[in-house]
């Protein structure tokens, strides 16, 4: 079952402030002391793997270790786990060095990563252990004042979005389900802005034409239809007259 003792190697000045490093069964400990802190590094012996932080620091002022003590557990690498899937190994626990495992996901799940991995000398799995993700996406959010169309929500499927009359689409019109996630955020439907409508006063504004008499006659008729008094019409014409005189004076100056 291995040696229960921990072997300690101290490098640097002898430490005289921190307590002895915590003992971990089936491990080798390398300790380094400096003037202000004490560092210990744990390595598990062959056939065991480390659970927890590999390096611990002890501050000589507080005399406390910065993390909980790790442990060395049976098995050269951590036992492989595949949620929503199955794995095939040449042997049962514990895991030994160079052991190879293969992976397969359950129905309706997709394997993300390699379908095999090997336990390495440094107690890690290479390639990294895969995971099983859902094979289809959750239904996307239906936009207010709109809807979407699709055959299904399986990986690779597309969904298109459409807005009701009077609304326009803001965002991506089409999304694709990729490994359980949609390619983009669902769009929204925003009300269209209507073109401004001219008021009766704007329609009755003085429209200058080649025949000024015709323009005045049209303006008088429009003002009369809108209930304008003769005095109000006279005032409007006086204002327009001043504007025309300013334009005429400016043009005369430019010609000179």
Which positions ≥6 away from 193 have C-beta within 8 Å?
A: none
| C-alpha to C-alpha distance for 58 and 15, rounded to whole angstroms | 11
CATH fold of 85-134 reads Complement Module; domain 1 (2.10.70)
Q: Quick check: helix, strand or coil at residue 242?
A: helix
CATH of 146-191 given 3.40.640.10, 3.30.365.10, 2.10.70.10, 2.30.42.10: 2.10.70.10
Residue with tokens 């991506």: 172
Q: Give Rg (Cα) of the chain.
A: 41
Per-residue pLDDT of the chain (256 residues; tens, 9 = 90+): 444 545 555 555 544 556 677 888 988 888 887 777 788 899 888 889 999 998 988 877 777 788 889 999 999 999 898 999 998 876 667 888 889 999 999 988 889 999 999 999 888 999 999 999 888 888 999 999 999 999 888 888 999 999 999 999 999 999 999 878 899 999 999 998 875 655 555 445 545 445 556 666 666 666 666 655 666 666 667 777 777 776 667 666 655 5
Q: Which helix (H) or strand (E) holds 126?
A: strand 125-126
β-bridge mates for residue 21, sequence order: none
- Tokens standing for residue 24: 């971990």
* Contact of 106 with 90, CB cutoff 8 Å: no
* Contact of 140 with 159, CB cutoff 8 Å: yes
- Tokens standing for residue 164: 């009701």
- Whether domain 7-74 has CATH 2.60.40.420: the reply is no
Using CA atoms, how far residue 155 sits from 18, 26, 134, 158, in Å, is 57, 46, 9, 9
DSSP string, 172-187: -SEEEEETTEESS---
The predicted pLDDT at position 2 comes to 44
| C-alpha to C-alpha distance for 226 and 53, rounded to whole angstroms | 87
Give, as one character, the DSSP assignment of residue 25.
Answer: T
Taken in order 44, 49, 52, 54, the sign of the CA dihedral is: positive
According to CATH, where is 2.10.70.10 located in the chain? Answer: 7-74, 85-134, 146-191
Q: How far apart are the first and last CA of the chain?
A: 113
């Amino acid at each position: 079952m291995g040696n229960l003792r921990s072997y300690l190697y101290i490098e640097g000045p002898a430490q005289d402030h921190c307590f002895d490093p915590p003992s971990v069964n089936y491990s080798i400990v390398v300790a380094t002391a400096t003037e202000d802190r004490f560092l210990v590094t744990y390595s598990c012996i062959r056939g065991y793997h480390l659970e927890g932080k590999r390096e611990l620091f002890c501050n000589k002022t507080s005399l406390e270790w910065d993390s909980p003590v790790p442990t060395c557990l049976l098995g050269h690498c951590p036992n492989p786990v595949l949620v929503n899937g199955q794995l095939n190994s040449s042997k049962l626990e514990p895991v030994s060095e160079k052991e190879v495992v293969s992976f397969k996901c359950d129905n309706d799940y997709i394997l993300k990563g390699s379908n095999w991995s090997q336990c390495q000398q440094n107690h890690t799995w290479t390639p990294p252990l895969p995971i099983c993700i859902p094979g289809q996406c959750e239904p996307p959010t239906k936009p207010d004042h709109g809807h979407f169309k699709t055959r299904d929500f399986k990986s690779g499927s597309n969904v298109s979005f459409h807005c009701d009359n009077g609304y326009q689409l803001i965002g991506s019109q089409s999304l694709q389900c990729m490994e359980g996630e949609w390619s983009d955020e669902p769009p929204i439907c925003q009300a269209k802005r209507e073109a401004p409508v001219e008021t009766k006063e704007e329609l009755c504004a003085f429209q200058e034409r080649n025949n000024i008499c015709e323009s005045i006659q049209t303006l008088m008729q429009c003002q009369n239809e809108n209930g304008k008094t003769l005095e109000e019409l006279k005032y409007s014409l006086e204002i327009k007259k001043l504007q025309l005189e300013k334009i005429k004076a400016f043009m005369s100056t430019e010609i000179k």
